[in-house]
Chain A
Amino acid sequence: MLTAVRLKLMLREPEMVFWVFVFPVLMALTLGIAFQNREDEPMTVAVRNGAAANALVTTLAATDELEVITTRETNELGLLRDGRAHLIVVPGTPVTYRFDPARPESRLTRLLVDRTLSDTTDRGHGSEARLEEISTPGSRYIDWLIPGLLGMNIMGTGMWGVGFAIVVARSRKLLKRMVATPMRRSHFLASLVLARLAFLGLEMLALLGFAWWAFEVRTEGSVAGLIGVALAGALSFGGIGLLTASRARTIEGVSGIMNVVMVPMWVCSGVFFAVTNFPDAAQPFMRLLPLTALIDALRGVMLNGESILGVGPELGLMVAWGTGTFLLAVRTFRWQ
C-alpha cells in the first residue's frame, strides 16, 4: 500500500514525469542527432593556397574519405582549433603537414593524406613530408571548453540569480509589501541586475583564474574585450531571467520554466561540443540562441584574439535578446 501511494504521488507530480520520462528521451534524441554520422564523416583537410595547391586538391579529393578545402595561412590555426579542418597541407617540396597530434582525428587524417600522396607521388620526389606539430595552448579541448563553461555559468547564474530572487520575494509576499512602500519599481529591477553584474566579476575571476592556474588556459584577446562580452551575456540572461520570473508564483513553477529554457541551450549552444555537429538545417536556429552567441563571442576573444568589434554580431544578438526580454518582462511583470 505504501509503495502504491508512493508511486501515485510520483506519477501525479508533472515535473517528475517530465524529468524521468520525457527528458532522457529528448536528450537521447538531440545527442543522437548531434553525433549520428560521426564515423562516415569525411576527414577534412585544408590545403594552403599557393602555386602547387590545385594539383594537391585534385589528388586528395579523389579519395572518398577526405574532404578538401583551401585556406589562407592566417586562417589555418582557427580551422584546426574549431575542428573545421583536421590537417593543414602546405604545398612545397616536400609538403608540410600542420596538425595537432593530441587529436586522434588529426593523426588519422595525416596517415590517410600521407598514403594518398605517396601513392600518387605528389608528395614531392619520394621524400618524407615535413611534420609541423601544433600544440600551442589554445588548441586543446580544455581551451575550447573553458569559454563554453564560462558561458554556461553566466547563463545559469544570471537566470537563477535574477529569477529566483524575484519568485522568492513574490511567494513570500515580500514583493507586494515592497510595492506598498514608496520604493521605485524600476530601482528594484535595476538592483537585481546590478547585483548580478557585481557578482559576475567574482564568477569570471574564479573560473578563469582556476583554468589559468590548473590548465594554463589563456586568452588571446584582450581582458577588456572578454569583460565586455561577459557583461553583454549577463545582461542578456538577466533579461531572460526576469522574463521567466515575471509571472511565476512558486519556486516549482519558475524552476520548470527555467529548465525548459536552459536545458535546450546546454545541448544546442556548443558548450561541450561544436554546434557544427548538428544537421546544417538546424544550425541557423541554434546560432540565434543567446548562449550560442555568448559562447561564440567568448571563444572568438579567448581563442582567436578577436577584438570587441570582431564579435559585433554576437554582441548585437545578445543585446537584442536582453532588451527584448527585459521590455516584455516589465510589461507582464506580476508585482503581487
Chain B
Amino acid sequence: MGVPYWFSSMTRPSPSFDLALKCVDLVKRYGDLVAVDHLQLTVKRGECFGLLGPNGAGKTTTIEILEGLLAPDAGHVEVLGRRWGHDDDALRQRLGVHLQETQFDERLTVVETLRLFRSFYTTGQDITTVLDTLGLQSKTNTWVVKLSGGQKQRLAVGCALVGSPELLFLDEPTTGLDPQSRRQLWSVLKTFRETKGTILLTTHYMDEAEVLCDRVAIVDRGQVIALGTPKELIASLGAAQVIEFGVGGPDAAMRDALELKDTLERLPGVRTARRDGGLWQLSTTDLQLGLPALMRFAEAEQMAIDSVATHTATLEDVFVALTGKHLRDD
C-alpha cells in the first residue's frame, strides 16, 4: 500500500462506540506552515457536523486525515471507533467520501460512473434509487462532460452515497454553485440523514451550516475556536441584531477610530462596535433602542451617515466577531 499509515502510542483508549469521529491533538505541518494545530473534535453518530472556516484554515487537511488519505504529524483520529492502519478496506466500506475538485472521466455517462463506484463496495444502494435521490434520472446516459456544475456536484455526492455509508465526508460540496443547485444538493443530504447517517461537512457558507448542521465548529489557523449548535453560537454574540452603517463626508477619516468605538459602545442597547473595512458594525440586543440612539448620536456629532442596514445575527457575524476576518475574501 502506497499511503503512509501511522501507528499511535501503545495505550489505546477504549473505542467510543457512540462517537462517529474523534480527533485528539491533531497536528499536520507543511514545511513551516502549521495547517492543523492540536485540533480536538468529536462528532456523534447520526449528527450532521459542520467545519466552518476561511480558506486555508485547515478544514480540508483535517477531513483528509479523517478519511485516511493523509497521515497526521502528531495526535490521532478514530473513525467509527477505529483507527487507520489496520484493515482499512473494511473501514472504507462504511465511509462515503466526497473530495474537493474531483473531476470524473468526461466520457463516461452518469450511470456508468455510479456503477463503477458502486462496484468498489460489497453492499450498497441500487443505482436507480441513487439516481432518483440525486434528481439525475433524466441525465442517466449523459456524458459527464455535458453536465452542469450543479449536476456534477450531485453526481460526486452520489458516488459517495452508492456504498450506503454510515459516515459521509463532504468537502465544500456546494462551493461555486448557484443558489438553486445548492438547495438541490441540500435536499439530497437531507434524504441521506433520514437513514440515520452521520455527515461531516466543510463549508464556508454560513447559511448552509445553519440550514444543515446540528453542530458547528469554527476553525481558524488549524484550531477549533468555537463549537456549538448554530443557535448557541449566534446567541454567544449576546446580540440578536447587527446594525451596519457607513460614514461619508470629509470628516470620515478625521475621526479617531478608537475614540469613536468607545463612544459607540456606550450607546444604549449597543454591545460591541467594530469597524470592518469602510463600515461600522454595532451588535445590539435591542434594535429599537440601538438604532434611534445611533441616529441621535450622528445628529449631535454632525456625523454624515451615508448608509444603514440591519440584519439578524448569523454565523458570519460570529465568525467575524471571533476572528476579525470574513469567511470569504469577497
Residues of chain A lying within 8 A (CB to CB) of residue B181 = none
CA distance A183 to B89 in the complex (A): 8
CA distance A334 to B104 in the complex (A): 19
- Is the beta-carbon distance between A173 and B92 smaller than 8 angstroms? no
CA distance A25 to B2 in the complex (A): 40
Q: Which residue of A lies closest to B100 (CB)?
A: A173
Per-residue B-contact encoding for A318-336, CB less than 8 Å = 1, 0 else:
0000000000001001111
Per-residue B-contact encoding for A142-182, CB less than 8 Å = 1, 0 else:
00000000000000000000000000010011101111111
Residues of chain B lying within 8 A (CB to CB) of residue A335 = 2-3
- Is the beta-carbon distance between A180 and B103 smaller than 8 angstroms? no
State which of A181, A184, A336 has its C-beta within 8 Å of the C-beta of B97.
Answer: A181
CA distance A173 to B60 in the complex (A): 14
State which of B2, B103, B120, B163 has its C-beta within 8 Å of the C-beta of A174.
Answer: B103
- Is the beta-carbon distance between B102 and A172 smaller than 8 angstroms? yes
Answer yes or no: A130 CB below 8 A from chain B CBs.
Answer: no
- Is the beta-carbon distance between A181 and B117 smaller than 8 angstroms? yes
Residues of chain B lying within 8 A (CB to CB) of residue A180 = 67-69, 92, 95, 97, 99
Residues of chain A lying within 8 A (CB to CB) of residue B117 = 181
A176 and B121 in contact, given A182-B92, A182-B93 (Cβ under 8 angstroms): no
- Is the beta-carbon distance between A179 and B69 smaller than 8 angstroms? yes
- Is the beta-carbon distance between B120 and A183 smaller than 8 angstroms? yes
Residues of chain A lying within 8 A (CB to CB) of residue B100 = 173
Answer yes or no: A185 CB below 8 A from chain B CBs.
Answer: yes
Residues of chain B lying within 8 A (CB to CB) of residue A172 = 102-104
CA distance A172 to B144 in the complex (A): 13
A176 and B99 in contact, given A181-B121, A336-B69 (Cβ under 8 angstroms): yes
State which of B99, B103, B120 has its C-beta within 8 Å of the C-beta of A182.
Answer: B120
Residues of chain A lying within 8 A (CB to CB) of residue B97 = 177, 180-181
Interface residues on B, range: 20 to 34
- Is the beta-carbon distance between B89 and A182 smaller than 8 angstroms? yes
Per-residue B-contact encoding for A292-336, CB less than 8 Å = 1, 0 else:
000000000000000000000000000000000000001001111
Answer yes or no: B18 CB below 8 A from chain A CBs.
Answer: no
Q: Which of A179-207 contact B (CB under 8 A)?
A: 179-185
Answer yes or no: B309 CB below 8 A from chain A CBs.
Answer: no
CA distance A150 to B93 in the complex (A): 44
Q: What distance in Å separates the Cβ of B152 from its nearest Cβ neighbour in chain A?
A: 12
Residues of chain A lying within 8 A (CB to CB) of residue B90 = 182
- Is the beta-carbon distance between B3 and A173 smaller than 8 angstroms? no
- Is the beta-carbon distance between A173 and B101 smaller than 8 angstroms? yes
CA distance A335 to B163 in the complex (A): 22
- Which of A180, A333, A334 has the most chain B CB atoms closer than 10 A to its own CB? A180
- Is the beta-carbon distance between B3 and A179 smaller than 8 angstroms? yes
Per-residue A-contact encoding for B263-289, CB less than 8 Å = 1, 0 else:
000000000000000000000000000
- Which of B90, B103, B163 has the most chain A CB atoms closer than 10 A to its own CB? B103
- Is the beta-carbon distance between A173 and B163 smaller than 8 angstroms? no
Q: What distance in Å separates the Cβ of B100 from its nearest Cβ neighbour in chain A?
A: 8
A182 and B121 in contact, given A176-B99, A177-B97, A177-B99 (Cβ under 8 angstroms): yes
Q: What distance in Å separates the Cβ of A39 from its nearest Cβ neighbour in chain B?
A: 53
Q: Which of B116-168 contact A (CB under 8 A)?
A: 117, 120-122, 159, 163
Answer yes or no: B1 CB below 8 A from chain A CBs.
Answer: yes
- Which of A169, A172, A179 has the most chain B CB atoms closer than 10 A to its own CB? A179
Answer yes or no: B207 CB below 8 A from chain A CBs.
Answer: no
State which of A181, A182, A333 has its C-beta within 8 Å of the C-beta of B2.
Answer: A333
Q: What distance in Å separates the Cβ of A16 from its nearest Cβ neighbour in chain B?
A: 27
Q: Which residue of A lies closest to B89 (CB)?
A: A182
Residues of chain A lying within 8 A (CB to CB) of residue B120 = 178, 181-183
Answer yes or no: B105 CB below 8 A from chain A CBs.
Answer: yes
Q: Which of B52-71 contact A (CB under 8 A)?
A: 67-69
Residues of chain A lying within 8 A (CB to CB) of residue B122 = 182
State which of A176, A183, A334 has its C-beta within 8 Å of the C-beta of B69.
Answer: A176
CA distance A173 to B105 in the complex (A): 11
CA distance A127 to B122 in the complex (A): 86
Residues of chain B lying within 8 A (CB to CB) of residue A178 = 120
CA distance A182 to B96 in the complex (A): 10
- Is the beta-carbon distance between B163 and A181 smaller than 8 angstroms? yes
- Which of A178, A181, A182, A334 has the most chain B CB atoms closer than 10 A to its own CB? A181
Residues of chain A lying within 8 A (CB to CB) of residue B102 = 172-174, 176-177
Q: What distance in Å separates the Cβ of B110 from its nearest Cβ neighbour in chain A?
A: 15
Q: What distance in Å separates the Cβ of B1 from its nearest Cβ neighbour in chain A?
A: 7
Q: What distance in Å separates the Cβ of A336 from its nearest Cβ neighbour in chain B?
A: 6
- Which of B2, B68, B101 has the most chain A CB atoms closer than 10 A to its own CB? B2
Q: What distance in Å separates the Cβ of A194 from its nearest Cβ neighbour in chain B?
A: 15
Residues of chain A lying within 8 A (CB to CB) of residue B105 = 169, 174
- Is the beta-carbon distance between A173 and B89 smaller than 8 angstroms? no
Q: What distance in Å separates the Cβ of B70 from its nearest Cβ neighbour in chain A?
A: 8
Q: Which residue of A lies closest to B116 (CB)?
A: A178
Q: Which residue of B lies closest to A331 (CB)?
A: B2
Q: Which residue of A lies closest to B118 (CB)?
A: A181
CA distance A58 to B163 in the complex (A): 83
Residues of chain B lying within 8 A (CB to CB) of residue A173 = 99-103
CA distance A181 to B122 in the complex (A): 11
Q: Which residue of A lies closest to B162 (CB)?
A: A181
Residues of chain B lying within 8 A (CB to CB) of residue A334 = 2
- Is the beta-carbon distance between B89 and A184 smaller than 8 angstroms? yes
Q: Which residue of B lies closest to A183 (CB)?
A: B120
Q: Which residue of B lies closest to A335 (CB)?
A: B2
Q: What distance in Å separates the Cβ of A24 from its nearest Cβ neighbour in chain B?
A: 35
CA distance A183 to B117 in the complex (A): 9
Q: What distance in Å separates the Cβ of A128 from its nearest Cβ neighbour in chain B?
A: 68
Question: Can you list 5 residue pairs at the A/B interface with Cβ under 8 Å?
Answer: A174-B103, A180-B92, A180-B97, A184-B89, A336-B69
Which 6 A-B pairs rank lowest in CB-CB distance, beginning with the nearest? Answer: A172-B103, A180-B97, A182-B92, A181-B120, A183-B120, A177-B102
Given known contacts A173-B100, A177-B102, what 4 new A-B pairs fall within 8 Å (CB)? A173-B99, A180-B67, A180-B97, A185-B1
